[in-house]
Structure 1
Amino acid sequence: MPEVEIRFPADQVCSGSFRLLELPPDLCRLIESSVDDPSLMIKGGPEDDAVLCTSDKTYNIRSVTLSNSVLVVSPVPHIDGGEDQVIIQDSLNELLELVPAVPKLHRMNVMLQEHEWEEGYEEEDEDESLEGIFKAKRKRFTLEDAQIELQASEQEIAQALKEKHMLIIDGALRPLSPTYLHKILELLLMHLVSLSQLHDAASVLELSRSLEYEHEVRREVTLQVMRWFGEVDVADERWKMDVEKVVRQVGLGILCQHKTDPISEDEFIAKWNTAVGDTFASHTSLKLLTGNYLCAPSPFSTSTKLSYFPCAELPTDPAMRFADLFLTRERWKAEEIVPYLSDIAVDTKDLDKLLLKYARALTDKEGLWFTARAR
């Protein structure tokens, strides 16, 4: 085993100049196999816990104290007849560990809560006063802003913008109002029939033109909605509608009106079938709406009552999420609570850890239940 002589530097070295980072296997493989330099970015403001983002994943950065110090040394030129020598550059007592994390996107809702795009906003650009221009500039929040501000990878942000129905209007992000989205989808379904269009090869031009001229829906809004709910072939200008996504969203548009006023399951299904039309009525199923509603028996009929309870409106902090869930219901069946936790867990293993930490499992003749863990 070779021996080296360790020397302290003549000048005082600033402690903390180096950090030791342990790479998880998947990230190590990415770096080793990448032809181009992989995109790695550390994100976080002064009040945030920093995260590391690749192009498609987010990792929490966790500090682990080492039992032994690790020396960072640099070699010095050989001295004739002497031993090899190294100079200490730093002494490390901690290791930075990367742990897979869910993207931190909750800040986007706060930043854009006053930017919602409603029906009738097609004419909103009329305010050309100097005050109006400065106000608009001050409120603009772009995709580039989102990529800087949000602690998430580019792919996770892009997916979130699609799932949260964020329009890009004149370069600015604008969340589309759920009621207006519901109307646009119903109009698309109606015009598919009136224009005799196939849902898997519909003309983008004809549909967008009809919505613009007959219902004053901006063409760029219609096109973005089509991309959220299907695939747009740019070359052929054809839209392949994702039937399940459209049917699901139409169902949510009806269900969201019953947050405090429950609706019977039979009545809801009837309204849902009518809204999507005979062509797609066979696709309606409550399974599509899992994680967005609660069931309760009706005291006056055999039909179950449904109320709107969306996972997306619950806190992202795990402790607060469980507190809200157990305030809503004292106990949950396993299959009912899991959909309300999937967005705050990286995988099933992480989900099991959350349940073990914040809930207590009980088993009876009806199956597995979860209740709040006693403090």
Structure 2
Amino acid sequence: MRTLEEVQATLQIAKLKEEDLHTTIHCLTFGENVSSADYCLMELDDTLCKHIEAGQSLIIRGDKDEHAVLCSEDKTYDLKIADTSNLLLFLPECRTPDQLSNSQDSSHVVHAQIWGFCNSYWELRRQRPKLKKLKKLLMENPYEGPALAGQEENTENRYTLQDLLERIQASEEEIKSHLETIHACQIDGYWRVLDFDYEMKLLGHVTQLVDSESWSLNKVPLQTSLEELAPLEPREMIEHCLNCYGKRYSENDEVYYALYEDRVCRGTALMLLHNAVKFNLREFQEVWQQSVPEGMSTSLEQLKGVALVDRTSRPQTISLLQVEDLPEDTAARFNHLFTLREKWTEEDITPYIHDLCGEKQTTGALLTKYARSSTQNGYKVFNSRRPVAT
């Protein structure tokens, strides 16, 4: 253990003036069996520091073949190792200058023991949650409706929320939000996504009932709907369908739903396009408008991110292209899009890259990085900046 005299002698050799330094002098020593593998350091921003100080948890998620991410309750962060040229020491008993008392008149020595050291740390960067795997897991066993008499329902590949939290690289809030987006529901404690045909069947029952009863699209009574459709489908499925395609509200102690025009029209369009490779655009628009409930108006704006119009073909066509089916990686997404179409207008490509934008990032910035622009027939178009891999 160094004495004050030894420290003062070292200062003289180093040609440092004792009066220029703090009166408290730390002498550092290594503890027994200290190694760089004992501790990992992580750099946190103010938000995450307050999160930890409030007693909340941070969780590292990822399967063995995935790059690990760190999740708070509602955000996802990429974990990357950052190297530093300075050796970082872990000193639990060391005090920083702002923690020291300046009331000491003379210098004194404080001994602090090093518990660990390293020359790298974990650096966190906010990133988009990786949610594509969520629907993929749930699609292993989609819910096709109640089992028919004499048939047993498939109980394999079913997932609770805890199962999903262990498998999906996203925070709990992000996972719950995406479950709502993909119209998943909880059945017998397991999260299930509805089979597409079954979901469209439910929507058809609801819209047909609205038409037959001449109800206002903004005032669909829940209780009457359940009673009328109970012989056809389970009550909880009818209510789930109304939650997916309408907004719930109460009036005079009665529960009603205001149907979302865009969601109902989009669902109907998906049903029409589901089994067609390409559809004549003009014919599609006519059939589509005839298929939605009376009082609703269809518009191609409702199909952004789920269907693509080819205006260069004669006649013009429309085909199914859902953003949720595209690669999650940004470079792979652009490569896939440019294999489908060599040149894109900004209006056409934006719905298919908007979800790739990080915090404070725009689709324009993504296009600048991954595409180059040119003018074709008076319109600005984008093609791949790199050779397209097929």
Q: Which of 192, 200, 205 does residue 210 from structure 2 map onto?
A: 192
Per the alignment, do residues 306 and 320 of structure 1 end up closer, same or farther by CA in structure 2, a change over 3 Å counting?
A: same
Task: After superposition, give the CA deviation of every residue in 1:77-98 in whole Å (9 maximum; x if it has no partner).
Answer: 9xxx951121112223223222
**Aligned 8 A contact 1:257 1:308 in 2:** no
Matched ranges for 1:52-71 at <5 A:
52-71=70-89
**1:145 and 2:163 equivalent?**
yes
1:58-94 Cα offsets, whole Å, 9 max, x none, are: 11112211132222113389xxx95112111222322
Decide whether aligned partners of structure 1 residues 61 and 351 sit closer, same or farther in structure 2, where only a CA change above 3 A counts. Answer: farther
CA RMSD of aligned residues (A): 2.9
Tell me if 1:271 matches 2:281.
no
1:139 counterpart SS class: coil
Long gaps (5+) in structure 1: none
How big is the shift at 1:241? 2.4
Identity of aligned pairs, percent?
Answer: 29
- For 2:43 and 2:249, locate their aligned partners in 1 and report how far apart those are by CA, in whole Å: 43
Where 2:382 maps in the other structure, the secondary structure is strand
**Residue pair 2:211, 2:293 contacting (<8 A) in 1 also:** no
Q: Does 1:171 align with 2:197?
A: no
| 238-247 vs 345-354, greater mean Cα deviation | 345-354
Name the SS for the 2:291 alignment partner. Answer: helix
Judging changes above 3 Å, is the alpha-carbon distance between structure 1 residues 10 and 349 closer, same or farther for their aligned structure 2 residues? Answer: closer
Letter in 1 for 2:126: P
Alpha-carbon distance in structure 2 between the residues aligned to 1:90 and 1:125: 65
* Cα deviation code 1:31-64 (max 9, x no counterpart): 67xxx53343221223222212222221111221
CA 1:242 to 1:15, structure 2 compared with 1: closer, same or farther past 3 Å? Answer: same
- 1:23 equivalent to 2:44? Answer yes
Q: Give the superposition deviation at 1:285.
A: 1.0
CA contact (8 A) 1:6 1:88 kept: no
TM-score (norm 2): 0.81
TM-score, normalised relative to structure 1: 0.84
C-alpha distance in structure 2 between counterparts of 1:88 and 1:179, whole Å: 64
Distance change in 2, residues 1:75/1:27 (3 Å)? closer
In structure 1, the residue corresponding to 2:40 is in which secondary structure?
A: coil
Q: How many residues align?
A: 354
8 Å Cα contact 2:226/2:238 also seen in 1 = yes
- Residues 139-160 of structure 1: per-residue CA shift (max 9 Å, x gap): 3212221122211112211121
**1:1-375 equivalences in 2 (<5 Å):** 1-2=21-22, 3-28=24-49, 37-75=55-93, 82-118=108-144, 121-124=145-148, 126-127=150-151, 136=155, 138-213=156-231, 216-233=232-249, 236-258=254-276, 260=277, 262-281=278-297, 284-297=298-311, 301=315, 304-347=316-359, 349=361, 351-352=363-364, 354-363=366-375, 366-375=378-387
Q: 2:274 is paired with a residue of what secondary structure?
A: helix
AA matched with 2:354: S
Mapped partners of 1:110, 1:230: distance in 2:
26
Q: Which runs of 5+ in 2 are unaligned?
A: 1-20, 96-106
Cα 1:94/1:113, change in 2 over 3 Å: same
Q: Measure the CA separation in 1 of the matches of 2:32 and 2:327.
A: 51
Which amino acid in 1 is paired with 2:289?
A: N
Assess if the C-alpha contact under 8 Å between 2:25 and 2:108 holds in 1. no
CA distance in 1, matches of 2:68, 2:125: 12
Cα 1:288–1:28, aligned 2, differ >3 Å: closer, same or farther?
farther
Q: Partners of 2:60 and 2:193 in 1: how far apart?
A: 27
Aligned-pair distance for 1:290? 0.8
SS of corresponding position for 1:181: helix
Contact 2:345 2:381 in 1 (8 A): yes
